[in-house]
Chain A
Amino acid sequence: MAAPQQQKLKVNGPVAVTANRLSDGVVVWRTAAGGWSTDLADAAVVTTAPEAIALLESASVRHTDAVGAYVAPVVVVEDGTVRPGNLRERIRVAGPTFTLPGALGADLPAA
């Protein structure tokens, strides 16, 4: 699979723009206010390709905050909570799907 950055943009459902924070690689989400948040709940969620492209373009203006921005699928559940839209994004949000070997792993935020 090509990384999402290399794939053609297809929007058929809710999406958000995500990237990795430059300083430490932590997963971040583009907010409606034009910033980045480590919390998916803060993400700007859009549903059309032009909106997604606009969001992606705004995200790429400053290059010192985040790296490798791309459009990722999300799921909006009934109470409005935003969840990652596929396994890859679930892993980016929650970390590896198994217990990490390092004792320190448990103490640190998942990402």
Chain B
Amino acid sequence: MGAPFIKMQGIVKKFPGVVANDHIDLDIYLGEIHALLGENGSGKSTLMSVLAGLYKPTAGKILINGVEKKFGSPRDAIANGIGMVHQHFKLVEPLTVAENITMAEREGSFWLKLGKYEHELIQFGAKYGLSVNPSALVWQLSVGEKQRVEILRILYQGSQVLILDEPTAVLTPQETCELFENLRTMANEGCAVIFITHKLNEVQALADRVTVLRGGKVTGVLQRDEIETKRLVRLMVGRDVVSHYDRKNVSDGQIVLEIDRVNALNDMGLPGLNGLSLVVREGEILGLAGVAGNGQRELAEVIAGLRKTTMGTVRLRGEDVTNLSPLEMIRRGVGYVPEDRMGMGLIPELNITDNLVLKCYQHPRFSGRWLLNNREIYNKSTQLVEQYQVKIPSLEQPIKLLSGGNMQRLLLAREIANEPKLMVVVYPVRGLDVGATEAVHKLLLELRLRRTAILLISEDLDEIFKLADRVGVLSRGQVVGDFNVEDADVEEIGLLMAGSAKGVENDVCPR
């Protein structure tokens, strides 16, 4: 294989209170696709941001072709042939593709020679199988197309090393397939591709080598022929993962939530839900799988009263509750764990007590007409924190200082304490480590035993199969398929997620 193109040695990156990277070594060779695997928070993005010149490492060094380099900014990294596509795209939406790609060019002339660039870009893209329309405005592009523009921009800047941070998170299975093909072309052209992911099947489908991170440290480096699921899991989470929970059967119950052919618009004013229907019963978990952006948010918000429907009815325990306000839905016993924990479910700057009474401060137990009953609020918060075993130094702490797992536990505790009849949970374990994930799952299963109807919206099929009684798929604003979990088949659900009944392989394309 020769000498590595990039050698990262003993990289340490500290943030206040966290060591995100703890003496990491990493070698990257030209022509390889190198996967960086690890759970959320294991330090993948941080390590690559160091390599891309965005962060300065606390310690350690980077050698390019055996020569030590110091990157003061991404510009330095680019000059050394290293470019990164971040999880959140960094494109200027109102400008065209060509303008975005050539923005960084520092060619002498004051006048932009866009015409010349556009022609060049088409040819350049064709070389890597990346077709783009250089004169299209970026905001009009699909997510997959935007990603292509980002990649093209980096290649155009002359990078030989392409870093992609969880590129498939936002893609449909077809787009994923296409991306993988493009990445292979690039590797064959002699580039190095570093591919960040936490999904095992992607590593298997794509990687020549994989480096596994856990808690900021490297736990293993595997060659193509050593890659094997069980081994990867153990390296990634440090132990074998429970493959199923003991789920006691709950007898069939009354229908709690019934949604009948509901339409709703998304934030852009386009149809988000298209005649969606579903039913959830007492003591039952309905798991809805699906690729993000197929109506997950819209559905949850319609049920919580936060989004108006344009058609159809929502019934809660027989009562028509279509388009009632959020407060009225809370009063009727709808709990909601939103996908955006920090932006909606919790208020990061406020303290734990303030966050714990968010949904119940209007209850007579906690406030009169004018004044809050601070003593009751304090008692309640103390009790919740103890009952759910959240370790915190004080109730006065802003909630933003807690770990993701503890935040989610408090959020769930708060929602469960209101004794919901119906609980809507969206991506409940996103960003949580294995321990916290199990804790959250156990809470949901307990809630089910107490006969709450639970609607679980998730992108993680494993999670759905572990928790749900019934499984459906959210696709283009509709629920397609309805299986008992015992009869459900991953293959078939994968097909439904891909949005078509035939012709597409499982959710990752084969090598």
Check if A and B associate: no
